[in-house]
């Protein structure tokens, strides 16, 4: 039992990938046809027995992610879009914060989507998120997304009424049409070289209540509490149905959903990190190769930097220098001076022409 889960450091890269694959696979949905939310237990922590164990894995995972993201950025071809959806207090913010903690902020962009502004309502529903899509080489994170259009809007049809769609276009097919449009967009985006991962942090109604109570009881958490959030609990079933339908209609190989057990935050973070690691590993990212032309350029730049401040010796100076030196090697640089990085130049021979600088 003690060796069931040896530290990640002791595993080869292949074993590590296998281990991560085993961890995340049960929660990945790439084909929604048979998806039923009730098959997914929000309290699941399979294979990981304690918070401490999870934290150890997460720490290593975050280091690995940082290295992969550096290559993603250097390569500048693939891009990544991570979508986080959840009921309130499921731990979206914490998951984003912890999983991306080691990543260079320059390679990462986070956007949160709240109730749309009037400017946003003047556009089609994909407009505001399209403006915030990640660039190649970067990881874009959506804290909520266009999925709200088939979640909160579906649970509260009065929101749909306030959207300025022409009446004749709002039929009972409206949700199916939105799923279809979302799928079409995601397929297009994936074909453009963007990896899309969608996370539904699946918290139970009971755990949410516990977290709301904590927000009420602990002064440093009071600011997070909103009465409206607690009132949304009345619509829990409708939300779960909307999530189930959304996952069913939009899960795909090129845009999988991860239905992440979220009652234990430490496990949710591990699954999220694992899914990102798995997706990046599949890209087989490498630093861009330097070709012969570029190598020449680098060598020239190096030579130029090394010769800074040195003037070309005259023929006479060269001759005198040879005479002054009792032992030729004393004139070479010490091992910790910058000049030690270049091989010593051949010493000028008396009477011979001065070497080229």
Which of Mg ion, ligand ATP, none does residue 149 bind (CB under 5 to 8 Å by kind)? ligand ATP
Per DSSP, what are the bridge partners of residue 199?
84, 258
Among 271, 241, 252, CA closest to 95: 271
Q: Which is nearer to ligand ATP, 93 or 278 (CB)?
A: 93
Whole-angstrom Cα distance, residue 80 to residue 120?
24
Among the residue ranges 10-18, 144-152, 213-221, 312-320, the one whose residues contact ligand ATP (CB under 6 A): 144-152
Site for ligand ATP in 222-281 (CB under 6 A): 226
In the bound state, the residue with its beta carbon closest to ligand ATP is 148
- DSSP for residue 255: B
Whole-angstrom Cα distance, residue 224 to residue 253?
36
CB 108, min distance to Mg ion, A: 22
Whole-angstrom Cα distance, residue 177 to residue 69?
35
Question: What is the total count of residues that contact ligand ATP (CB under 6 A)?
Answer: 15
Which of Mg ion, ligand ATP, none does residue 115 bind (CB under 5 to 8 Å by kind)? ligand ATP
Per DSSP, what are the bridge partners of residue 259?
200
Lay out the site mask for Mg ion across 79-108 (x = CB under 5 A, - = otherwise): ---------x--------------------
Q: Which is nearer to ligand ATP, 78 or 125 (CB)?
A: 125
Q: For residues 37 and 237, is the Cβ–Cβ distance under 8 A? A: no
Whole-angstrom Cα distance, residue 85 to residue 301?
49
Among 131, 197, 105, 122, CA closest to 165: 122
Whole-angstrom Cα distance, residue 77 to residue 193?
7
Alpha carbon separation from 304 to 297, 299, 308, 309 (Å, rounded): 11, 9, 6, 10
Q: Does 148 bind Mg ion (CB under 5 A)?
A: no
Which of ligand ATP, Mg ion, none does residue 170 bind (CB under 5 to 8 Å by kind)? none
Q: For residues 81 and 280, is the Cβ–Cβ distance under 8 A? A: no
- DSSP for residue 308: T
Q: Does 61 bind ligand ATP (CB under 6 A)?
A: no
Q: Does 113 bind ligand ATP (CB under 6 A)?
A: yes
Q: Does 153 bind ligand ATP (CB under 6 A)?
A: yes
CB 144, min distance to ligand ATP, A: 5
Give the one residue of 148, 186, 244, 245 binding ligand ATP; rule: CB under 6 A.
Answer: 148
Note the residues at the interface with Mg ion (CB under 5 A).
Answer: 88
Note the residues at the interface with ligand ATP (CB under 6 A).
Answer: 88, 93, 112-116, 143-144, 148-149, 152-153, 159, 226
């Amino acid at each position: 039992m003690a060796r069931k889960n040896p530290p990640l450091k002791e595993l080869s890269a292949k074993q590590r990938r296998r281990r991560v694959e085993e961890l995340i696979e049960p929660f990945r949905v790439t084909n929604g046809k048979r998806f039923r939310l009730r098959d997914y237990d929000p309290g699941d922590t399979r294979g990981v027995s304690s918070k401490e164990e999870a934290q150890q894995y997460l720490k290593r995972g975050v280091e690995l992610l940082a290295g992969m993201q550096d290559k993603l950025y250097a390569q500048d071809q693939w891009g990544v879009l991570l979508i986080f959806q959840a009921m309130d207090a499921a731990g979206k913010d914490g998951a984003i914060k912890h999983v991306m903690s080691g990543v260079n902020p320059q390679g990462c962009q986070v956007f949160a989507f709240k109730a749309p502004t009037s400017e946003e309502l003047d556009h089609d529903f994909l407009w505001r998120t399209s403006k915030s899509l990640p660039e190649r080489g970067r990881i874009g994170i959506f804290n909520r997304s266009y999925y709200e259009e088939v979640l909160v809007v579906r649970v509260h049809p009065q929101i749909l009424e306030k959207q300025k769609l022409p009446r004749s276009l709002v039929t009972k097919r409206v949700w199916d049409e939105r799923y279809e449009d979302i799928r079409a967009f995601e397929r297009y985006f994936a074909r453009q070289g963007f990896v899309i991962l969608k996370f539904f942090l699946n918290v139970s109604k009971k755990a949410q209540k516990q977290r709301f109570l904590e927000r009420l009881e602990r002064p440093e958490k009071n600011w997070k509490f909103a009465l409206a959030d607690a009132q949304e609990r009345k619509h829990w079933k409708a939300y779960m149905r909307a999530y189930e339908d959304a996952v069913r209609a939009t899960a795909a190989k090129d845009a999988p959903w991860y239905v992440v057990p979220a009652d234990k935050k430490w496990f949710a973070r591990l699954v999220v990190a694992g899914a990102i690691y798995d997706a990046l590993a599949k890209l087989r990212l490498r630093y861009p190769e330097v070709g012969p032309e570029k190598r020449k350029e680098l060598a020239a730049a190096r030579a130029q930097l090394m010769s800074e401040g040195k003037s070309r010796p005259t023929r006479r100076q060269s001759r005198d220098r040879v005479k002054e030196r009792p032992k030729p090697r004393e004139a070479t640089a010490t091992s910790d001076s910058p000049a030690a990085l270049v091989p010593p130049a051949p010493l000028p021979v008396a009477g011979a022409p001065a070497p080229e600088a």
